[in-house]
């Protein structure tokens, strides 16, 4: 496999995990933190973002180390940014497909008229 693609994999995974965490858990976690009365909404958003990034970084680091044991990887900020954006776009397109087609078929109330 191409060394550039292999170098992108861990940052693509980071983008996917970070975006999935945001889509699936961010709003619920922010609401629960806000209800604790220890946090205002800004603090809840900040903590949620930190948790999302931390989980994504942990998973991406594991993937990176696993790949790096097998082959040499290129480390460059442009590859990191490209992988992050690619992973996020993958989740975005899958989410848009889900919202526009599957959710609409399963739950008619979500369909645009």
Domains of the chain by residue range = 3-110
Per-residue pLDDT band for 109 (boundaries 50, 70, 90) equals low
**Whole-model pTM?**
0.80
Q: What is the mean pLDDT of the chain?
A: 87
- The predicted-structure confidence for 56-105, as pLDDT tens digits, reads as follows 999 989 988 998 888 888 888 999 999 999 999 999 999 888 877 777 77
Determine the average pLDDT of the residues in 16-42.
Answer: 88
pLDDT of residue 85: 95
> Which bin fits 37, alpha (ψ -120 to 50), beta or left (φ > 0)?
left
93 DSSP assignment: H
pLDDT of residue 35: 87
pLDDT of residue 113: 58
pLDDT of residue 1: 65
Contact (Cβ atoms closer than 8 angstroms) between residue 13 and residue 63: yes
């Amino acid at each position: 496999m191409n060394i550039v693609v292999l170098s992108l994999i861990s940052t693509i995974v980071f983008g996917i995990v970070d975006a999935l965490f945001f889509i699936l858990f961010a709003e619920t976690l922010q609401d629960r933190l806000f209800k604790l009365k220890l946090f205002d909404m800004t603090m809840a958003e900040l903590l949620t973002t930190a948790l999302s990034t931390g989980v994504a970084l942990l998973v991406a680091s594991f993937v990176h180390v696993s790949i790096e044991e097998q082959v040499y990887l290129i480390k460059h900020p442009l590859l990191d940014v490209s992988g992050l954006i690619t992973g996020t776009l993958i989740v975005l397109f899958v989410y848009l497909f889900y919202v526009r087609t599957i959710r609409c078929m399963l739950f008619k109330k979500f369909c645009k008229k």
